[in-house]
Amino acid sequence: MSGWNPGRAGALVLAAVLTLSGCTSGGDDGGGDGGSERHSGPDAGTTSEASEAPPAVVEEDGFHRANTLPDPLAERVVTVPTQDGTGSAKLQIVSLDSDGEHVRLIGAWLQPSEGEGLASNALTSSAESVGLRPWVRLVDQESNTLLEPLQHDGGSGNFDPSAPADVSEAGPAPDTVHKTQCVCSALATSVPGDPSSGPTELFYLDFPAPSGDQVDILAGEHLEPLADVPVSQGEEFTYDTELTRIANSSSISQEFPWDYGAGATISRTLPLTSTAETVGGSFVEKDQEITRVNLPADVLFEFDSDELTGEAQDILDDSAAQLEEDAAGKTVTIEGHTDDEGEDDYNQDLSERRAAAVEEEMAQRLDGSDITLETEGFGESRPAVPNRDSQDRAIESNQEKNRRVSFSFESVEDVDASVDAGRELPDIPDMENASNATSEALAEGVMTGRGEGDDAEIQIAVTAFERTDDGIRLEAQVRTASGSYEADALSVLQPAAGDQHFGPNPYAGQSEQPSAADFSILDEEAQTLLSPTTASTTDCLCAQGSPLGTDLAGEPITLWAHYPDTELSGDEVVLRIADTAQLRLPVPEAAEG
């Protein structure tokens, strides 16, 4: 496997160390020597119970922690299977504070009092592991956006924390390098030999300020979100003892950047998009501002042509009828899109010509309606899904989806995605029955890969499929069916970008790493497919990789996905994992409350 090895242990090696301490939140209780009061969670003024004792690293709930830290706003125990057992650590969010323009997140990474620990670089992106930067994002439910960390343009790790923030909003990043260009501290590659006597490791990241007063936190590539974490206002987190530290690379000044956003030049705030697809091939994308109804260009036009096919006429008839219902009184922009093959200029011209051809036909069908038509070509600049996997290999099914003509208009509450574009879903096998059942599973099965030379058997247990306040949540436990640790269990011999067990992965360091990005929910009665919520083509609200790379163990890893809040028909739906295998699930009930 490549990337992070959870079994490494030894002396904690840091390129540079700052000796810092978190103040307590009570003001008069001691522990801090200056700075603002630190309020910790909903009960302002509370501190960790151990903080009333003399300053020390103490054991709390099975993990070592500086007792000068405030009670966490949120926490999660992180466990990862290893060849010899299981490693663990605890992630705590000890501060999430806004100065009105930027937000600083400070996290604590705690080592267990017994058993094998995990290094904090579990939180890095496997696609860019060299930078050793935490890959953490915030979900702002109020604005329905995903906030990436503030970034800089000085290369991996190189920014000036003494420089004031000079930030411009950028669109989605074209590659994964930006994951190491966060305005943040570094992480460690090993665990301390004796965590009871060493400082507590802290890390920080700066973000654009969210709209709401709480956010969900996505830490690393595979951990489920920490939900509803409160954001304080003007309650700066300060340090004064030798019980905590932050690791910075040698390229960063060894002074803590007290100014939020210091050194930042780039901000990325991405709208969250829900996608519903018909079995026939059309699909609807929706965020808070725009609804986009997409038709596949391959059925509207011949290859490399802007002449509409005979088949296109019926599809445009259905589309016109649907627009009259969904977009009445609105301006509809007819957009042309291509995949990323060929020259940019050619693709731009083709997209404009195809948009114009569809506009000419639709104007006749919508004559007399109160819909205004416009056209715009985007070429390859706005893919709906990633054109390529993390090894830059073409994902042909995604490229086909990106070759499309779209009807874009101001978002409305409900849009019917029922336009039949003449496609058929590929048949995929049902999973085999699992011999070793998981007690809490709603549904469970065993699948095998499709690549040449691949005989790994992978057990999938869906342990949660439920409605939440803002959508549908799925959780699946993934392990080897044999119950043993199998190195490179997910590797495929000379794979095409489509032979991977979980579909080609555009996010993680290896395309074969498991992701829930291709976990789609098929509503057979409504003939629609739900995909996980996305933020452009750079993020999904789902597990984007695995802490084991392409290895699997007898102990499970967790893959999760968030879907838009959608009514589902009947008593069951089908979970389709890429084009590899499928499993039937009971339809979730309404969320409590």
Closest CA to 63 of 185, 187, 191: 191
Specify the pLDDT at position 149.
97
Question: What's the rounded Cα separation, in Å, for the pair 152 and 304?
Answer: 40
Q: Is residue 467 pLDDT above 60, yes or no?
A: yes
Question: What's the rounded Cα separation, in Å, for the pair 206 and 185?
Answer: 10
Mean pLDDT calculated for residue range 479-486: 93
Specify the pLDDT at position 186.
87
Specify the pLDDT at position 514.
94
Q: Is residue 63 pLDDT above 90, yes or no?
A: yes
Question: What's the rounded Cα separation, in Å, for the pair 454 and 467?
Answer: 36
Q: Is residue 47 pLDDT above 50, yes or no?
A: no
DSSP state of 122: G
Specify the pLDDT at position 45.
35
Specify the pLDDT at position 498.
55
Question: What's the rounded Cα separation, in Å, for the pair 20 and 245?
Answer: 5
Confidence of residue 234 (pLDDT cuts 50, 70, 90): very high
Mean pLDDT calculated for residue range 456-473: 93
Q: Are strands 232-233 and 85-98 parallel, antiparallel or unpaired?
A: parallel
Chain mean position to CA 51: 35
Tokens, residue 362: 């639709």
Specify the pLDDT at position 579.
87
Q: Is residue 52 pLDDT above 70, yes or no?
A: no
Tokens, residue 277: 């697809």
Confidence of residue 154 (pLDDT cuts 50, 70, 90): confident
Q: Is residue 490 pLDDT above 50, yes or no?
A: yes
Confidence of residue 492 (pLDDT cuts 50, 70, 90): confident
Confidence of residue 6 (pLDDT cuts 50, 70, 90): very low
Q: Is residue 588 pLDDT above 80, yes or no?
A: yes
- On whether the CB atoms of residues 400 and 282 are closer than 8 A, the answer is no
Specify the pLDDT at position 32.
29
- Residues 6 or more apart whose CB falls under 8 angstroms from that of 54 comprise none
Mean pLDDT calculated for residue range 22-37: 29
Q: Is residue 11 pLDDT above 90, yes or no?
A: no
Confidence of residue 222 (pLDDT cuts 50, 70, 90): very high
Chain mean position to CA 78: 17
Identify each DSSP E strand in 193-289 by its residue range: 200-208, 214-219, 226-230, 232-233, 244-248, 266-267, 269-278, 283-286
pTM of the shown model: 0.86
Specify the pLDDT at position 425.
85
Question: What's the rounded Cα separation, in Å, for the pair 72 and 63?
Answer: 14
Fold of 443-586: Immunoglobulin-like (2.60.40)
- On whether the CB atoms of residues 132 and 121 are closer than 8 A, the answer is yes
Confidence of residue 21 (pLDDT cuts 50, 70, 90): very low
SS3 of 359, please? helix
Specify the pLDDT at position 538.
87
Tokens, residue 160: 């000036």
Closest CA to 220 of 548, 576, 485, 492: 548
Q: Is residue 480 pLDDT above 90, yes or no?
A: yes
Question: What's the rounded Cα separation, in Å, for the pair 422 and 570?
Answer: 24
Instruction: Give backbone dihedrals phi and psi of 348, rounded to 5 degrees, phi first.
Output: -65, -45
Q: Is residue 79 pLDDT above 60, yes or no?
A: yes
Specify the pLDDT at position 246.
76
Specify the pLDDT at position 372.
96
Specify the pLDDT at position 494.
58
Q: Is residue 39 pLDDT above 70, yes or no?
A: no
More confident residue, 252 or 475: 475
Cα angle vertex 530, ends 527, 533, to 5°?
165
Q: Is residue 540 pLDDT above 50, yes or no?
A: yes
Chain mean position to CA 110: 24
Specify the pLDDT at position 496.
57
Read off the pLDDT of residues 307-337 as tens digits, 9 standing for 90 and up.
999 899 999 999 999 899 889 999 999 999 9
Q: Where does CATH 2.60.40 sit in the chain?
A: 443-586
Closest CA to 389 of 473, 464, 300, 492: 492
The secondary structure element, H or E, covering residue 523 is strand 519-523
Instruction: Give backbone dihedrals phi and psi of 404, rounded to 5 degrees, phi first.
Output: -155, 165
Question: What's the rounded Cα separation, in Å, for the pair 500 and 578?
Answer: 9
Q: Is residue 37 pLDDT above 80, yes or no?
A: no
Closest CA to 283 of 143, 145, 400: 400
- Residue 370: count other Cβ atoms within 10 Å of its Cβ: 10
Burial 437-460 (b: 16+ CB within 10 A, else e): ebeebbbbbbbbbbbeebebbbbb
Share of the chain above pLDDT 90, in %: 61
Read off the pLDDT of residues 177-201 as tens digits, 9 standing for 90 and up.
888 889 998 888 889 889 998 899 9
Read off the pLDDT of residues 429-463 as tens digits, 9 standing for 90 and up.
999 999 888 989 999 999 986 655 456 799 999 99
Question: 516 to each of 63, 278, 478, 541, how far by Cα in Å?
Answer: 30, 20, 11, 9
- On whether the CB atoms of residues 468 and 591 are closer than 8 A, the answer is yes
Specify the pLDDT at position 27.
29
Chain mean position to CA 585: 23
Instruction: Give backbone dihedrals phi and psi of 96, rounded to 5 degrees, phi first.
Output: -145, 95
Read off the pLDDT of residues 391-429 as tens digits, 9 standing for 90 and up.
888 999 899 999 999 999 998 777 765 677 777 888 999
Read off the pLDDT of residues 336-358 as tens digits, 9 standing for 90 and up.
999 999 999 999 999 999 999 99
Confidence of residue 153 (pLDDT cuts 50, 70, 90): confident
Architecture of domain 280-410: 2-Layer Sandwich (3.30)
More confident residue, 46 or 397: 397
Question: What's the rounded Cα separation, in Å, for the pair 310 and 313?
Answer: 6
Read off the pLDDT of residues 120-141 as tens digits, 9 standing for 90 and up.
999 998 877 667 889 999 999 9
Crossing angle (nearest 10°) for helices 310-326 and 344-365 = 70
Mean pLDDT calculated for residue range 477-495: 86
Over the chain, what is the mean pLDDT? 85
Confidence of residue 255 (pLDDT cuts 50, 70, 90): low
Question: What's the rounded Cα separation, in Å, for the pair 387 and 232?
Answer: 39
Q: Are strands 290-296 and 283-286 parallel, antiparallel or unpaired?
A: antiparallel
Q: Where does CATH 3.30.1330.60 sit in the chain?
A: 280-410
